[in-house]
Amino acid sequence: MRGLERFLSLAACFFLGFALALPPAGATKLPSDLREALTKMFPESKIRLDGALETKAGDLYIPLMAGTAQPIKHPETPLRGVYPDSSQPDLLSFSNGWFYLKVLKRASKQTLVVPADLPDTLRKSLLECKFAPDLIVPEDFVLPTILKPAVGQHPVTFSDVPQTDSPSSVSQPRKPRHNGPVHVGIFVSSPKAGKVSLLDENTFAKIAEFPTEGTPAGLAYADGVLYITDQSKHRVLKLDPTSREFIGQINLPPHSAPKGVAALPDGKLIYVSESATSSVAVIEAENSRLLVHTKVLTGPARLAVTPNGSAVVVLNAPAGKITIISTQNQKVLATVAVGALPNAIAISPNSERAYVSNRVSNTVSVVDLIKHQVVQTLKTGAAPTGLTLDETGERLFVANAKDNTISVFDLAEHKRLQDIKLPLDVDFPGALALLPNKHEILVSSEVTEAIGLLDTTALAFEKQPVIGYPSDEFLLVPIFSE
């Protein structure tokens, strides 16, 4: 009996020791070549059982596993890239298809971000990866919705803001250097050509061209940076108009299709309409950080900020309405029914009236922004599109796309004064922009390669500068000498 007890005791010790020597059930098994590469890259760091990497500096990198990992062909150079390209990257991409993302602190939460400069091919690969099944989830962990497919069964909270950029991954705006005279650059977008052009303010000749490899639409300027919405690639491009260089981008949620963009007068916040997700993104300009999404009616398109900066007016074309958002709390103040297919907005200098062209109704709705109601309806030509006010705010100019005319209204009497026929070289007028000299208006064309220049005193067209492709929106931007 004692012999049997001794045998059982020895057997229990043997199996206990064997069990302790085994890795825990479900522990993440890093590919040996990846483990070797991590050890060489971070010699004083710790690789946890769940595959996460704890660096000596206290940073935590969480792995995302490729569905079918490939061998690392060159262990001495295992990285495909680090993003952003700095000594403290937010993302490491390995040649076997695995990624490591750094855990970042955002207020009282911890999260991961997808850097803005990550190439599209790597972004697609990343979004096909999964978290380790035994991942030790950090406390107060919140993830952007773009990473939702990677989570699996982990109890993770998703933020309301689909965060796809971190401040470190987005180039910071270059402040204009005021060591020379300021002049005005005329920027024009062309979704059909996929380009934004810069025109000379005096001759209107094209002096620079910026291919976007996407579908540029809305334009806005704030604090030395030109913001360009790219509808097909779901991002906002950032261009330094002085150096004429792209300086970064702000990635928006997939399939958001951003259209309109506008900035507060103080340049602190940027508003972007996401036409496919029925929301308006509010972005902090200083660090390109998404703050919140404001839900609006379906199909938000162009938008405008009141001159006093108190409200944002958003066109909801499919609904035939506008949405008015408070810039104090980013909440909807009101929705107002206008006409069918609202197309463009102009706001009075005192911020009390919004003028909205209705392309199908052949009208302009005059909206009281204090009472939140339509107070007048102006009859226009066929298919009104672009709008602009003169310097005094007493005359309204309206482009009529199908008639190829510009209608002039006296706003004191709400009377249509005259229709001006467009020259033959300019067809289907779109946006209107009042030039700094206050007596000329630029007219874009949806189908021709020329734009129009209208003299508001003579009420006649002066010239038709050729830019080489159809045009959509104009923006006049200050440019400083470097």
What is the domain partition of the chain in residue ranges? 32-167, 171-479
Q: Where are the beta strands (DSSP E) in 2-126?
A: 46-47, 53-54, 60-65, 79-83, 91-94, 99-102, 104-106, 109-111
**Range in 34-38, 144-148, 437-441 with the lowest mean pLDDT:** 144-148
DSSP 464: -
CA–CA gap between residue 331 and residue 387 (Å, rounded): 26
**pLDDT at position 170, please?**
34
Q: In what order do the strands lie in the sheet with 395-400?
A: 384-389, 395-400, 405-410, 415-421
Tell me the two tokens of residue 218: 């809305």
**pLDDT at position 323, please?**
98
**pLDDT at position 163, please?**
41
**pLDDT at position 102, please?**
92
**Range in 4-13, 260-269, 425-434 with the lowest mean pLDDT:** 4-13
| Most confident of the ranges 65-79, 110-124, 132-146, 244-258 | 244-258
* Mean predicted confidence (pLDDT) in 320-349: 96
Band (83; pLDDT cuts 50, 70, 90): confident
Q: What is the percentage of the chain residues whose pLDDT exceeds 70? A: 85
Choose between 194 and 11: higher pLDDT.
194
pLDDT, mean over the chain: 86
**pLDDT at position 275, please?**
95
**pLDDT at position 25, please?**
41
**pLDDT at position 6, please?**
52
**pLDDT at position 148, please?**
80
pLDDT over 70 at 110, yes or no:
yes
pLDDT over 80 at 482, yes or no:
no
Choose between 40 and 218: higher pLDDT.
218
CA–CA gap between residue 447 and residue 120 (Å, rounded): 31
* Mean predicted confidence (pLDDT) in 375-401: 96
CATH number of 171-479: 2.130.10.10
pLDDT over 50 at 15, yes or no:
no
**pLDDT at position 10, please?**
46
Band (190; pLDDT cuts 50, 70, 90): very high
DSSP 71: P
Tell me the two tokens of residue 297: 């009616």
Work out the widest C-alpha separation in the chain, in whole angstroms.
119
Band (141; pLDDT cuts 50, 70, 90): confident
